Structure 1
């Protein structure tokens, strides 16, 4: 018990754990939509596309959330514009935008680091132990907004996720739902930047959702289990980071991956070992 309570005596750990739990919940919920729609590449594209926004925000001494949000929205609109106004498929549009924005971000970060003699690697890999109260507040605001929108549009997003043509046939605004989902994904990635950074955020989006996908069939059940996996991974990763002096973002991702491996091996309906033993 003392080991569990020890990290909580430090204010930086309290803030870090709060952000980790919020991000674990948020990524799990939004990640379920990414998984069932097979849009993992979209999450990867948007996560890398916020990098120039982070660099410009740092250069102009602006809130990093604002810079990342603007870059994420611009990249989302670019992907949507290329996909809807040309014959280029969505995955190709993601690849074009993702690579261009990421390249621009790397150039900006390299230039800033060279001229100011500072290290900005936390943009890529996260540094949750440095979160401030303002970071906690901003992350919570984004999370509440995204979760409220998901709750309000749950039925529409459910129908749209599993039968896009059917949703269009009954009159649902499919293009608007497409854009809305992209914006929600972008905001989720922005909220997660301090925790795991640009490089690892996709793992936190997809791995808890994939773990839940192996265990249950219905979307709402999948979301609840994914949230549990996300929260457990975030808290466990933070404690491992504290006690073993590990980088927090990778520790969180590895715990989530470990839980996925357990589900992959022992899922009652799809587990590699359980299904083989039944046969």
Structure 2
């Protein structure tokens, strides 16, 4: 195939697969915790790390990882202890991260608007061999956490109080989820872009939830959807010369719409079956209630005769 004959597309496709796996893998826990927009906030903060990378002439990806991890930990602490002013502090963190990143990139000697755009919206041609190695290492960490600790993370995402009662270190795992989300943002930024990475964490999970009922099946299907749309979006971007990040997200949203429409008749059948089962249970309960007085009368008659 022509697309596999160019080195930069080989790197881009490999990065796309890793992004497609890791983003929904951590995204499912964020969706369960009702923190779907956390990735968007981390993406804003990560831009400051990219700017620092350019300014200090170091790896923007590793610097973005460091800054986004610090930002994610700060967000989690604000969420836990911020009380009524927490939303204001988070907003300042998000906007400050974005503004700081734009300023630092423009101050850097090798920074430019082109560099800024590639990190905001993704760019296939800028995925270097070093980026592939970095993304692979970070993706391995994300998979190790999201799969290896899936039972603990699921318990905490469903009910923190119950998880705390069972003896799980809830605060530690909350911080781990935040750090893993931050690492995922830096994994995905070269392909999807910092402004769109949150969509890839959330939309495949939401699409999978339309046709699944269990957590395990939703996890597997959302990863499959994420991988499929990132590969399809990357290939489309190559042949049609369109931005990869926007293409990937639009494909994910399109698949979400298709699955939602397809799942509607199934949901109606499930609702009718549930109503029918409830009606049958109610009839059986009433029959049982009516049978009790009759049984008592029969027992009384027998007692009187004897």
Q: TM-score, normalised by structure 2?
A: 0.82
Within a 5 Å distance, the mapping from 1:94-133 to structure 2 comes to 94-112=90-108, 119-120=114-115, 121-133=117-129
- Give 3-state SS (helix, strand or coil) of 1:161's partner: helix
- Give 3-state SS (helix, strand or coil) of 1:128's partner: coil
Distance 1:92 1:269, change over 3 A: farther
Distance 2:144 2:129 in 1: 22
Please name the residue that 2:194 is paired with. Answer: 198
Contact 2:54 2:105 in 1 (8 A): no
Aligned residue-pair number:
273
Contact 1:127 1:195 in 2 (8 A): yes
1:207 paired to 2:203? yes
**From 165, 168, 171, the counterpart of 1:169:** 165
1:12 paired to 2:8? yes
Please name the residue that 1:138 is paired with. Answer: 134
Q: Alpha carbon RMSD of aligned pairs, Å?
A: 2.5
Contact 1:207 1:260 in 2 (8 A): yes
Deviation of 1:173 (Å): 1.0
Within a 5 Å distance, the mapping from 1:37-56 to structure 2 comes to 37-56=33-52
1:240 paired to 2:249? no
Please name the residue that 2:295 is paired with. Answer: none
Unaligned 5+ runs, structure 2: 274-306
Distance 1:76 1:6 in 2: 40
Contact 2:106 2:112 in 1 (8 A): no
Distance 2:197 2:236 in 1: 19
- Give 3-state SS (helix, strand or coil) of 1:194's partner: coil
Unaligned 5+ runs, structure 1: none
Deviation of 1:229 (Å): 0.7
Please name the residue that 2:285 is paired with. Answer: none
Contact 2:40 2:196 in 1 (8 A): no
